[in-house]
Amino acid sequence: MTAVADRQPETTGVAARNDHRTEVVERGSFCFAQCDCGWFAPGRRSRDKARRDAAAHRADPDPGD
Ligand SMILES: [Zn+2]
């Protein structure tokens, strides 16, 4: 769970405008959403929740700002 902490998007500040292409990835019994911009959501047991994570990210990619 800590191995991804250093990961950074390769295209910082470039793809972070409207080009958020998300997909839901399955790993074992978990699903998580990830995006072209480098963002990804925590693992979910439900594919539907992962899809909601993706939708929320596209709607508001940078909620802290
Ligand atoms: Zn994104």
d(CA 61, CA 65): 9
Structural domain contains residue 12? no
Q: For position 28, what pLDDT does the model report?
A: 95
Mean of pLDDT values over 41-62: 95
In 3D, which of 8, 1, 47 has the Cα closest to residue 24?
A: 47
Residue 45 is part of which domain span? Answer: 22-59
> Ligand 1 center to residue 35 CA distance, Å?
5
For 14-45, write each residue's pLDDT tens digit.
544 568 999 999 999 999 999 999 999 999 99
- How remote is the CA of residue 28 from the centroid of ligand 1, in Å? 23
Position 15 scores a pLDDT of: 46
- The total number of structural domains that make up the chain: 1
Domain membership of residue 51 (yes or no) is yes
The upper half-sphere exposure of residue 15, i.e. CA atoms within 13 Å in the direction of its Cβ, equals 15
pTM over 0.85: no
**For residue 27, is it within any domain?**
yes
In the chain, where does DSSP find H-type helix? 47-59
Q: What is the mean pLDDT of residues 7-20?
A: 59
The answer to whether position 13 is within a domain reads no
